[in-house]
Amino acid sequence: MLSQTVSRELLGEGLLCPVAEAGHRWVLAAMQGHGQALLTMLWRMLGNDQDVCDVYQNTFLHLAHAQEGRRPRNVRAYVFRTAANIAISLMRSRAAERRTVAAATSTQEPVRCAEHELDQEYLMQSLRFHMSQLPDNLRQVVILRDLADLPYGQISRIMGISAASARVYRCKAIQLLAVWMGQEA
């Protein structure tokens, strides 16, 4: 989950209300009133502190500039719908990036034949291919843990996630790789 410092900053706890223009104090009130629930929703959707921060900020920028600066009739609904739409757009663009990178960097799936059953080179090619098909966060954890031999604590600091999340990501990655490799056999 988001660190407390980031969460406090995003919720506007450190902001001085007198600094805000009188016409936009309702935006700060919305941030404080709906911020924690919005952060929880965004974290569940995106799973990445940086993406959550970006979507959170964009959501309240949209709110401040919605309808020429006027307050929407239902602020909570506007905030959550806007955040969900921005998060979905972000996920779609990231998926498109992954597809483009995978298409540019991955080689063709290795051809399987009986003589390759125990061939170590074939297994390595197959594993590399399937690793390139993993989602970025899962692939990064596998690379850092299994190839770089880093402890989960260090992986968590590098990726900006908890050590427990790193363990879960690695477990999911290994399960996916096992299923994919098993389908070849």
Q: What is the pLDDT of residues 146-181, one digit of tens each?
A: 888 889 998 888 888 999 999 999 999 999 998 888
pLDDT of 97 > 60? The answer is yes
- Average pLDDT estimate for 80-108: 79
Domain boundaries, the chain: 4-97, 107-184
Q: Residue 164: its pLDDT value, please?
A: 92
- What's the pTM value of the predicted model, to 2 decimals? 0.47
Assigned token pair, 83? 């955040």
Domain 107-184 matching CATH 1.10.10.10: the answer reads: yes
Q: Residue 17: its pLDDT value, please?
A: 44
117 by DSSP, 3-state: which?
Answer: coil
Would you tell me how many other CB atoms lie within 10 Å of the CB of residue 185?
A: 6
d(CA 110, CA 74): 55
d(CA 35, CA 4): 13
Q: Does residue 170 contact residue 163 with C-beta atoms inside 8 Å?
A: no
Q: What is the pLDDT of residues 14-56, one digit of tens each?
A: 444 444 455 668 778 888 888 888 888 888 888 888 889 998 9
